[in-house]
Each structure stands twice: as structure tokens, then as C-alpha cells.
Amino acid sequence: MNSWLSIGKSNSVPYLQNPQIFRFFCYILSLAIQNKVGRESVHSDPHWEKMKVGDKTALSEIFTSYHTDLYRYGIKIFNHPDLVRDSIQDVFVRIWERRDNLGDVQNAKAYLITSLRRKLFENKAQYESKIYEGTSVEDEKETFSFSSAEFMEVEEISAKLRTSMTEAINSLPERQRELIYLRFYFNLPYAEIARIMEVKEQTIKNLMQRAMANLRSKIDRQLWDGIDNMGDLMMTLFFLFRKKEY
């Protein structure tokens, strides 16, 4: 029975015949991710409270901690660096100016992503007239599209499966692609994703079910034979999403 993990030897077959190893790998990953999600969901960023009382150093720490992820998210919506960078700056300026009126924030990352998403669409009109190499900024790249080159190459994952998975994700409707990105890359709970995408939580859960069903039908079954959970595959793929600096 074929799987997508290799034995780890140079002469090994592309897919491991032992899916139990994959399940163990996913179990370890899930523990790490759940621990991280738990900390982010239950406890606010320690710098957040300091920033609210006027600590500029704390604001700088928050910016440093989240800027890369915010940029990665923004550039997936609009492939226009100036628009994304200016919108991120606007978000932090607004937070600083209104810090006295900010409520409790349990998940700083989700709050910032929500704020950036709204600001991007507010600022888009200012950039609609800008042309880059003869193409409008919003037409340069399909929203929330991915390439296999964006994921780290590791011996344990075959290039064929990585390519198949990214092609399958790109074939999904836009909102399903955004949901997968928020869920499996940012590790956000459904409640936070619902606030970001401005829909009910149950709508997000239903959308995820459709996305997983679509992926199961599109990815070559032989590449993940013996693996029961498509979510495990997505979690592992986005665990390997490259951490580029911007």
C-alpha cells in the first residue's frame, strides 16, 4: 500500500508503504500546533497590554512579531506590495491612535489579520488606477493561489504529491482557498476565521467540509493511499510553507 512518505534512504521508493509513520508524524505536529493555538487563543500577546498604556516599544514588538505573516496574508489577496505594506502601516497607526479604546484581544494575530483584510479593501480604490507591466494590480495573480515552490522540499514528501496538492488547492473556489490558508497555515480556530471572513462559524465549518471533499476528489488517491484524513495532509503541507522574509 503506497503512501507519500519515503523511507529516508536515497534508493527508497517515492511513497512509504507504512502509513502508520505518517499518522505518528501528524500526531506530533498536531500536538505542537494545538499547544501553539491554545496559547494564542487563551492568552493575549503580553505586549498588547503594554502597548495599550502607551508603550511604543511594545508596539514595535507586536509589529515585528506579526509583520511577516500579515504581509504573506495580504499579498495573497492583492499581489501589490505597496498596497499591502501601506495597509499594514495603516493598521498599526490606527491601533496606536485608538489604543485607549481597544477592547480585550485574546488572539492578536486574528485581530490583526481581520483589521488588515478590511483595510486592504478600503485602500484598494487608491491603487486601482495603478498599472504594473500593463496589468491591473488585482489581475496580476489569482487570489490565494499557491505554487509547489512555496513549500519546502523535504526528503519525506514526494514532489509529485506536493504538486498534486497545490494544484488541487488552486482549483478550489477563492473562499475555500482562503479558508484553507487561515486554518492550516495560521492555525486559527473556526470562530476566529468566521470573524475574519465575516460569516457565521457554522458557515465556515460547512465550507471546510466542502473544501476537504473537493480536495479528496482532486488529489490522486494513490499518492495518499492508507491516509484517512485529508486535514492531516493539509496540516503537514502548510507546516512546510516557506518562511520568507519580506
Domain boundaries, the chain: 19-41+143-239, 65-139
What percentage of the chain's residues is helix, strand, coil (to nearest 5)? 65, 5, 30
5 torsion bin: left (phi>0), alpha (psi -120 to 50), beta (else): beta
pTM: 0.76
The CATH number given to 65-139 is: 1.10.1740
The CATH number given to 19-41+143-239 is: 1.10.10.10
Percent of the chain with pLDDT over 70: 67
Q: pLDDT under 70 in the chain at which residues?
A: 1-44, 129-142, 154-157, 222-229, 233, 240, 242-246
Q: Cα(113)–Cα(71) distance, rounded to whole angstroms? A: 10
Which stretches within 43-173 are classed as H helix? Answer: 46-52, 56-77, 81-97, 108-127, 159-170
CATH topology agreement for domains 19-41+143-239 and 65-139: no
